[in-house]
Amino acid sequence: MVATTETINQVKTTTDKYKYGFSTEIEVDKAPKGLNEDIIRFISQKKDEPKWMLDWRLEAFKKWKRMEKPNWAKVSFPDIDFQDIYYYAAPKAKKKLNSLEEVDPELLKTYEKLGIPLNEQKMLAGVAVDAVFDSVSVATTFREKLSEVGVIFCPISEAIKNHPDLVKKYIGSVVPVTDNYYTALNSAVFTDGSFVYIPKGVKCPMELSTYFRINEKNTGQFERTLIVVEDEGYVSYLEGCTAPQRDENQLHAAVVELVAMNKSQIKYSTVQNWYPGDEQGKGGIYNFVTKRGKCLGENSKISWTQVETGSSITWKYPSCILMGDNSIGEFYSVAITNNAQQADTGTKMIHIGKNTKSTIISKGISAGKSQNTYRGQVQIQKGAYNARNFTQCDSLLIGDTCSAHTVPYINQHVSNAKVEHEATTSKISEDQLFYCMQRGLDAEQATSMIVNGFCKEVMKELPMEFAVEAQKLIGISLEGSVG
């Protein structure tokens, strides 16, 4: 509840339904619409990629053409015409940039409006920002400081050129190209994303943060992020998203892969606030993302924390493959849907190693006419002796035109494993609202407070500055849902 006052002010001052609904006029260098081998060659050439990368992309494209779109999620939307999308758009690089002063001022203004701290303030706060604007990372800060301890944090396109052995070794190793329709598509056309490498025994000295932003009209964004942490390393990675208001749906199909070696730890936090569309759901972002982490080493740990408030459709299941003995997977999620938003989100915990443990805490909040589904799989494979899982799914309904669904899948192949699942569904009670209002809080303040309370267990997992942002978002996204 730290930032509740701020939340309220935010709600009060936000007259536009969507604060970040602006776009920036920047010259854009883009490929023609549609997808074929030539477009892929164009992207690869633009990125100055080595041949092996191009071959990998072309192979993925071949496979993608033979695949079918998944339809098992509880979401509905008009068919996507994949030939009607731009697959490459980049702010025109006038020359190689050495410092922030050389960055397009228009671009910097956009960052400022978003509150993206690519400046000294943030430097003082100790966060390195690798900003992805449309598809190209324009500015990277803190790299020197990070490189002193041997940490690599750069756009993946640079990593492909400068650290080809690492990329080659791990890309596609957690999320195979043909994992699903959208991963194959991403593998063929991904344009940017981040690469993080934490060497053995290094605790990354700062939280790494990337702000994604979709800007160019009709540009699907296909980021690819790869994080590898060697033995006894640690990294906390923050991902935050906003997007300008658009009339046509924008497709976003990212792939995130995490690899954790012995006794290492990766904490991946997301606040997602993409344009959810208007009250009828028109014009929002389609967010079809595949995120997966592999606890390859013993005693390793991967934690996903997400606060999902945006997008018209969210299809996302950050997962953990617990291979190393004693490894730990965690998933903390808040998913808020309002108006016509649809979210089908959850996680997969695949227990392979002995004594592996996983925890799933999912909080779904639905308002308006929205649909909110938790879909989670817990798999205890043969050999995963003494594996443990605890799952808790709580749904909160605001009003009576929304719905919440919980779909757990449990596959257990070991007799001494223990899998617990708890699920609750509640409505914001009239008693609670009345109680808060009797103390002078208006309906929106009261709702925001009750909902933030409901999400407490997840919010406390977020890094401090993210938690503040996330609380504001909760207030904004439930605007107009009560009273």
Partner 1 sequence: MPILEIKNAELSIDNKKILKGLSLNVNEGETHAIMGPNGSGKSTLSYMLAGRDGYELDNGSINFENIDLTPLSPDERSNLGLFLAFQYPVELPGVSSTNFLREIFNSRKKYLGENELSHLDFIKLLRKVAENLSIKDEMLKRYVNFGFSGGEKKRFEILQMALLDPKISVLDETDSGLDVDALKIVSEGVNNLKDKKNAVVVITHYQRLLDYIKPDIVHIMSDGKIIKSGDADLALYVEKNGYSEILNEKS
Give per-residue burial for 294-333: e unless 16+ CB within 10 Å, then b. Answer: bbbbbbbbbbbbbbbbbbbbbbbbbbbbbbbbbbbbbbbb
Terminal CA-CA length for the chain: 22
Q: Output the smallest distance, CB 4 to partner 1, in A.
A: 6
| Residue 6 binds to partner 1 (criterion: CB under 8 A) | no
**Site for partner 1 (CB under 8 A): which residue of 4, 135, 305, 311?**
4
Q: Output the smallest distance, CB 381 to partner 1, in A.
A: 35
Binding mask 401-440 for partner 1 (x = CB under 8 A): ----------------------------xxxx-xxxxxxx
Counting every residue, how long is the chain? 483
**Site for partner 1 (CB under 8 A): which residue of 140, 215, 269, 445?**
445
| Residue 441 binds to partner 1 (criterion: CB under 8 A) | yes
- The residue written with tokens 């890309």 in the block is 171
SS3 115: coil
| Residue 1 binds to partner 1 (criterion: CB under 8 A) | yes
What six digits make up the tokens of 300?
């390793």
Q: Output the smallest distance, CB 109 to partner 1, in A.
A: 32
| Residue 450 binds to partner 1 (criterion: CB under 8 A) | yes
Contacts of residue 482, Cβ cutoff 8 Å, sequence gap at least 6: 367, 398, 399, 428, 433, 443, 444, 446, 447
Q: E-assigned strands of 317-462?
A: 319-322, 328-337, 342-351, 357-366, 371-380, 388-397, 403-412, 418-427
Contacts of residue 185, Cβ cutoff 8 Å, sequence gap at least 6: 60, 64, 82, 222, 253
| Residue 384 binds to partner 1 (criterion: CB under 8 A) | no
Positions 451 through 470 that interact with partner 1 (CB under 8 A): 452-457
| Residue 333 binds to partner 1 (criterion: CB under 8 A) | no
Q: Output the smallest distance, CB 370 to partner 1, in A.
A: 21
What six digits make up the tokens of 235?
């990294």
Residue (36 or 429) nearer to partner 1, CB: 429
Residue (243 or 365) nearer to partner 1, CB: 365
- Taking contact as CB under 8 A, which single stretch among the options 2-10, 26-34, 115-123, 473-481 is the one that binds partner 1? 2-10
| # chain residues binding partner 1, by CB under 8 A | 28
Interface residues with partner 1 (CB under 8 A) are 1-2, 4-5, 429-432, 434-443, 445-446, 449-450, 452-457
